[in-house]
Amino acid sequence: MKRYPLFILSGLAGLQLLSSSLHAQSGDTLKVSELEEVTIQAVRAGENAPVSQVTVAKKDIEKVYTGQDGAFLLEEISPSIVSYSESGTGLSNYGQMRLRGIDQSRINITLNGVPLNDMLDQGVFFSNFTDFGNSIESVQIQRGVGTSTNGVASYAGSINFESLSLTGNQPGTELQLTGGSFGTARASAEVHTGLMKNRTSFYSRISHIQSDGYRYNTGTNSNSLFFSGGYFGDRHAVKFTGFAGRSQNGLAYLPVALSDIESDPRTNYISANDVDDFGQWLFQLQHTWRLALRTSLVTTAYYGGAGGDFPSGYTNDSGNFEQINYPLHNDHYGLMSFVNHDFENATTSLSGGVHAYIFQRNNVEYIIPNRESPYYDDRSQKDEVSVFGKIQQEWGDFEFFGDVQLRAIQISFTPDPDFLGQDPAIPNRNYLFINPKVGVTYSMNDNWQLYASYGKSGREPTRFDILGSTQINASNLPIVQDENSVDPEYVNDIEAGARWRTEKVNLQVNGFYMLFENEIAPIGEFIPEGFVQVYRNQESSYRAGLELSGAWQFLPAFQLRAQATYLNAKISSYRPEDSEEVYEDVTPILSPELNLLGTLAYEPVQGLEFSVSARYLSESFMELTNNPDLTVPESLVFDAAARWNFWREHSLSIQLNNITDELYYTYGAPFNGTTEPAYFVQPPRHVYATLSLKF
């Protein structure tokens, strides 16, 4: 598969979709706001789609948002998500999440359908563009394979953010000020013009966050900017959306041994001199064309990038302190085109699309301050073209859904010949995935729905999965040259559930069974120069469970909100690389059996709400032998909040988290290969207050 002609293929496919849609008869134009909303229609599941999902609007996001990292925000609004903070704050610095016990690199994350994931590492680092939740109109979280989307595989699930609506919000300005524990301060200012007489609208936000962090040397100093603007005609809309952020974070990426935590829970093994300087940016230009009343074409061109410095200090053989810098830079160019068509009888809808991108990476290493003379310099590139088609058909009380996606991928590596002392031939990795999904929803009456679906998704290995390191060196070169060292992984996902919606109750219960083939995991030998285990394909495994999410207005002033997950996960067998012992039916790492969150809210008068919540996590294993001494212990954490909306639309909110000052963890690993557990300490008792002034 050639690289740059992918854009030609994308354009041709888009033209084909366009020509097939032009036969639709023209009709009355729709509201301008509906013309804007159609931009996410192709990549989101409908309200009645047979997938496990939750869609949260801005007004509900605002109830829990104080500027926290995206992972911690998502944990509050969807079942089956567990997050952890490296700094011990949850608001700043690096954080990660797992969905159904599966790590963040296996979650597809997009903004208006445009990928936010790093295509080679496949993860998302919200720390690169802080205060992101402030500029979001809505977010949809799909658990499991879900519906087709763009970018990396929706393996554990997918998360689609919608940027703030330009046509659906009134003109005004807003100032947000947050202050609280750990020396935390956040300031955000935004302006929204609303839809003006010339049919244009603009929105802009600028934010600054700083914090000392709870753990030693984990401070954050970050700035971010979000901008969008557009023209909205009767049949055409052009919208530009962009953001840029940059953060300086004191690093704390190593979990701390339990014995050191018991001595001082703020312990951080990383040098105070190791402060990264990293940023990310994305610019997308969308054109929406209402070809007819029920037919629309959305085309988006985008450019994204990320880069910065990541230092690591150590003491050299002479006893002097030195630092290696690991800077990298990404460039991501993409083009996508989607068509949506609803038939006149309103019982059938079709959508299809094409997406192509080029993702380029430059990894460098040098001894500080020798930036101009690095000892290591390599290049990586990933190209992809994907197409999908979806159909939704109503038949009486039944609604059928079908979806198929094809992804063609090529990954290439250009090593540093001077570092290796040779210029080795490294074959390209080529992957082709066909991902089908089918499902049905049965509406028993106006209040009850039953649904079931099946989906399959294939996922290519990441750059780190292939290299087992940050560089191509003498130790891992044979692995990199072996095209079959690690194969793609697959998941077959069965979902089934029920929805109950009344004026006072909104409840969804979902059961799932995910069967994995060739799941990629660090289970091979240790690489001497990589300090990590080689990634291999492990034996077949499954994850099954039950999820619940809902809200109940049981008295005029009281509401109960809850989300819960029961997870049963097993790997058929595991044999450590240096052992002949085989462990049968082991539990995957960091996959707690129970994940429960309940919130009781009380609104004595309109505009004033008090709430208290509790989250329980059962224990989880840190490694695959399931050694009982190496577990993340269970935890129960209580939070409280108050929100007062006063005069016009101003508001004041206070959040008191971890009321009982619980020492708890949500992530752990064996300490340096020993049988002593190591953890990231999560936030102790802390409080944040946010004042929002709207004019």
Which ranges in 340-390 belong to alpha helices (H)? none
**How is residue 181 written in tokens?**
């524990």
Percent of residues in the chain assigned helix, strand, coil, to nearest 5: 10, 55, 35
- What's the longest Cα–Cα distance across the chain? 79
Confidence at residue 358, expressed as pLDDT on a 0 to 100 scale: 98
- Residues contacting 680, CB < 8 A, separation 6+: 84, 85, 86, 88, 252, 255, 256, 665, 666, 667, 668
Please indicate, yes or no, if residue 1 is contained in any of the structural domains: no
Give first-to-last CA distance, the chain, whole Å. 54
Judge whether residue 21 has pLDDT over 60. no
pLDDT in tens, 483-501: 989 999 999 999 999 999 9
Please indicate, yes or no, if residue 549 is contained in any of the structural domains: yes
- Residues contacting 244, CB < 8 A, separation 6+: 129, 224, 225, 279, 280, 281, 282
Confidence at residue 85, expressed as pLDDT on a 0 to 100 scale: 94
Please indicate, yes or no, if residue 547 is contained in any of the structural domains: yes
- Going by C-alpha positions, the residue among 380, 346, 344 that lies closest to residue 361 is 380
Q: What is the DSSP letter of 675?
A: S
Beta bridge partner(s), residue 324? 312, 367
Percent of the chain past pLDDT 90, that is, above it, reads 83
pLDDT in tens, 591-646: 999 999 999 999 999 999 999 999 999 999 999 999 999 999 999 999 999 999 99
Owning domain of residue 196: 6-694
Residue 672 phi, psi (nearest 5): 50, 40
Please indicate, yes or no, if residue 325 is contained in any of the structural domains: yes
Could you identify the residue written with the tokens 């082709």? 432
Where residue 40 falls among pLDDT bands split at 50, 70, 90? confident
pLDDT in tens, 398-445: 999 999 999 999 999 999 999 999 999 999 999 999 999 999 999 999
Judge whether residue 538 has pLDDT over 70. yes
d(CA 357, CA 593): 38
1 with 410: CB under 8 angstroms? yes
Q: What is the DSSP letter of 359?
A: E
Q: Are strands 107-111 and 157-163 parallel, antiparallel or unpaired?
A: parallel
Q: Domain count for the chain, please give it.
A: 1
Please indicate, yes or no, if residue 507 is contained in any of the structural domains: yes
Please indicate, yes or no, if residue 291 is contained in any of the structural domains: yes
Confidence at residue 580, expressed as pLDDT on a 0 to 100 scale: 84
131 with 164: CB under 8 angstroms? no
**How is residue 21 written in tokens?**
């849609």
Judge whether residue 307 has pLDDT over 60. yes
Residue 251 phi, psi (nearest 5): -85, 145
Three-state SS at 272: coil
pLDDT in tens, 117-134: 999 999 999 999 999 999
C-alpha distances (whole Å) from 529 to each of 314, 378, 534 are 16, 16, 11
Q: Which amino acid is at 294?
A: R
Beta bridge partner(s), residue 325? 311, 366
Q: Can you give 172-229 as a three-state secondary structure string?
A: EEEEEEEEECCCEEEEEEEEECCCCCCCEEEEEEEEEEEECCCCCCCCEEEEEEEEEE
d(CA 78, CA 563): 7
Confidence at residue 673, expressed as pLDDT on a 0 to 100 scale: 80
Give the mean model confidence (pLDDT) for residues 162-186: 95
For residue 311, what is the domain's CATH number?
Answer: 2.40.170.20
Q: How far is CA 303 from the centre of its chain?
A: 19
d(CA 467, CA 364): 15
Confidence at residue 33, expressed as pLDDT on a 0 to 100 scale: 66
| pTM, two decimal places | 0.93
pLDDT in tens, 452-465: 999 999 999 999 99
d(CA 150, CA 108): 8
Three-state SS at 338: strand
Percent of the chain past pLDDT 70, that is, above it, reads 94
**How is residue 159 written in tokens?**
């998360």
**How is residue 375 written in tokens?**
């000892």
- Average pLDDT in the chain: 92
